[in-house]
Amino acid sequence: MAVIHTPNRDRVGSFSSSAETAAGADDNDSLGRNAGKGDDNDHDIEKLRSPDDLDIIRDDDRENDSLLRSDGDSAAPSTSQTVTLPAPDGSFTTSLLWMIINTLATVGIVFTNKAIFSDPSLKLAQLTFASFHFFVTYLTLFTISLPRFGFFVPRRASIRDILPLSVAMSLNVILPNLSLAFSTVTFYQVARILLTPTVAAMNYVLYQSKLPKNAIIALVPACLGVGMVSYYDSLPAASGSNIKTTSSVGVMFAFLGIFASSLYTVWIASYHRKLQMSSMQLLFNQAPVSAFMLLYIIPFVDTFPVWSEVPVNRWIMILMSGGFASLINISQFYIIAQTGPVSSTVVGHVKTCTIVALGWITSGRGVGDRSVLGVMVAIGGIIAYSIVMLQEKARAAIKK
């Protein structure tokens, strides 16, 4: 997945390398911020971090990315010293265009990465691929942070501060990519739905944050649906069948990836507060550290192909994957600046449904396949959850 603070979930995402997570996402929005002041239940709701961070950067960044240092130093600006950067000129057409670009890039990166990993010679070079994506992400962020573009104001953090988060980010990218390599696209994307209940569980254990009762009820079918897909998608295909299935290794990496992504989602929220940085500023510091850190591990872990024998079309796909990652990161800025949490959530679900549908078409399965019920139940549950959380957020805003 590239690297964005997807991600949603795919929620592609914050990391774009495979998602979507970007889909990041998507990925997946700002339903959980710590800024609220209401009754205890409202406060708990706002403390929750949505896994859609993996696709859509939080609304908090609307404020954080708009802070300019008044004197150009590297210290965190105080409230009295900040000025607001104007949001990019926007209209409905422009916003819609960037949402379409983000959706297409997220879908493109998932299927491009899947095609790359289908090559046995590249499937076990995961750390090299992740390092390449981190480099592309850093280059993209460096470019758009230049005064000429001014997407955000870069700030530096010490390697000591950022190293633990960079390790977590690397696992957040590598494990889901391994899941994609050994799974069908449909299973990979549906399994990412479990990010939401996993993040909610972690928030409850670590911060005693609670979800509304209706949100918990909505997550039950989402989890059951993922379980159904996991079972039916991993069953061996009939002899002579062209149906693609998920291996037990793919299932294992999927759940390890969900745990790593959920931990990263919860953890990064504390780094926002600790370092007083926006998602783009954090990612600007994380990406190069992760890239160079992996260079020391790659020789001992990756199995390299004979580079001269890698087909030209694979090299083109690798470059396309990097290009999609850049588009995801750039489009995030416009989506954050010009749309609200409802639009971000809708974009995240559109990406999930699109990836699942295309994955189903390419898997060779028929409409009557038993796992289709699991897909519908899982997606229906997560959409119901999003509706409940948006309603709760609106209710909390009215009380303020």
Q: What is the pLDDT along the chain (400 residues), one digit of tens a residue?
A: 554 444 344 333 344 444 444 343 344 333 333 333 334 444 333 344 444 443 433 444 444 443 333 333 333 333 333 334 444 455 778 888 888 999 999 999 999 999 999 988 899 899 999 999 999 999 999 999 999 988 889 999 999 999 999 999 999 999 999 999 999 999 999 999 999 999 999 988 988 888 889 999 999 999 999 999 999 888 887 666 778 888 899 999 999 999 999 888 888 888 888 888 888 899 999 999 999 999 999 999 999 888 888 899 999 999 999 999 889 888 877 776 677 777 777 888 889 899 998 988 888 777 667 788 899 999 999 999 999 988 888 888 887 6
In a domain, residue 267? The reply is: yes
Would you give the distance in Å from CA 30 to the centre of its chain? 13
Residue given tokens 């289908």 in the structure block: 118
In a domain, residue 3? The reply is: no
Q: What are phi and psi of 11, to 5 degrees?
A: -130, 65
Q: Write the single-letter amino acid at 210.
A: K
CA nearest to 376, candidates 240, 228, 232, 259 = 228
* Angle in degrees, CA 313, 136, 76, rounded to 5: 170
Cβ atoms of residues 363 and 20 within 8 Å: no
CA nearest to 389, candidates 176, 203, 244 = 203
pTM: 0.77
Predicted pLDDT of residue 210 = 85
Cβ atoms of residues 265 and 159 within 8 Å: no
Structure tokens at 256: 């390890």
Cβ atoms of residues 58 and 348 within 8 Å: no
Predicted pLDDT of residue 368 = 63
In a domain, residue 12? The reply is: no
Predicted pLDDT of residue 331 = 85
Burial class from Cβ neighbours inside 10 Å (0-12, 13-18, 19+) for residue 44 reads buried
Beta bridge partners of 11: 9
CA 182/CA 261 separation, integer angstroms: 18
Domain containing 57 equals 40-71+82-399
End-to-end CA distance of the chain: 38
In a domain, residue 33? The reply is: no
Running DSSP on this structure, what letter comes out for residue 342?
H
**Tally of structural domains, the chain:** 1
Question: How many CB atoms lie under 10 A from the CB of residue 68?
Answer: 14
